Amino acid sequence: MANVKASPTIDMTPMVDLAFLLVTFFMLSANFRSDEPVQVDTPSSIADAEIPKNVIMITVDKEGRVFYGFTGGQEARKNLLIKMADKYKVQFNKKQLEEFSLMSSFGCSVQQLPQYLDMESEKRKELKGSIPMDSTNNQLKDWIYFGNIEGLASGKVKFEEAANRNPDTEMNEYKPKFILKVDGKALYEHAKGVIEIFRDLDLNNLNFVTSLEGGGEQH
């Protein structure tokens, strides 16, 4: 006590403890922002269901641009691209196929896709494209149609694996779900265009992505 000069160093152990505790907490609770081509601000709701694994996700941004994403697994994504390439007579090389199987959602026509796949991910964001969905060139419909087929196929494989372990497993959980991620400020007309395509394919059970409501109290 008397010797004040002797203790200029502070014991940092508790601080380090605290800091690492927080680091551990954030590491475990964090889920990283996925590398989406656009930032979409979804509206909030009281819904509390989580996004399933096997989904076809259509993103609609503020200006009404449409993006397509499919998370049925790498093999399923490759098969999907092969089917689309076959239908639209577009050539993809092996590298592009590999790249497609790892990519998140994209917004461009099939004809542009080989070029798009060769780009760096930063460059892709600058491209202001959208998936064609007008009646003469309805590529989105084909993406959804083939995506659904591939999703069902890959879901079935996963279901059979799970059913071997637990016979109570329901097939329904492994079927692809259809998800609309629409910006709150986008006109509903834009979302409706996509919804009509789903309905044309007889896929009527859709899901909207929403963020959890902050203060809203029930009843």
Which residues of the chain form contacts with other proteins (CB under 8 A)? 9, 12-13, 15-16, 19-20, 22-23, 26-27, 29-33, 42-51, 60, 177, 179, 181-192, 195, 198-200, 202, 204-213, 218-219
Q: Which is nearer to other proteins, 46 or 157 (CB)?
A: 46
44: Cβ contacts below 8 Å, ≥ 6 apart: 210, 211, 212, 213, 214, 216
Q: Which is nearer to other proteins, 96 or 183 (CB)?
A: 183
Query: Closest distance between other proteins and the C-beta of residue 113, in Å?
Result: 26
Query: Closest distance between other proteins and the C-beta of residue 2, in Å?
Result: 20
Query: Closest distance between other proteins and the C-beta of residue 213, in Å?
Result: 8
Whole-Å CA distances, 159 to 71, 179, 188, 198? 16, 21, 35, 24
Amino acid at 160: E
Q: Which is nearer to other proteins, 85 or 179 (CB)?
A: 179
- DSSP-derived 3-state class of residue 57: strand
Q: Which is nearer to other proteins, 150 or 183 (CB)?
A: 183
Q: Which is nearer to other proteins, 13 or 164 (CB)?
A: 13
> Whats the size of the chain, residue-wise?
219
Instruction: Return the number of other C-beta atoms located less than 10 Å from residue 216's C-beta.
Output: 9
Q: Which is nearer to other proteins, 167 or 216 (CB)?
A: 216
Torsion angles phi and psi, residue 209, rounded to 5: -80, 130
Query: Closest distance between other proteins and the C-beta of residue 34, in Å?
Result: 9
Query: Closest distance between other proteins and the C-beta of residue 182, in Å?
Result: 5
Torsion angle in degrees (nearest 10) through CA of 160, 164, 165, 169? 50
**What single string gives the DSSP state of each residue in 115-179?**
HHHHS-HHHHHH------EETTEEHHHHHHHHHHHHHHHHHHHHHHHHHHH-TT--GGGGS-EEE
Query: Closest distance between other proteins and the C-beta of residue 118, in Å?
Result: 28
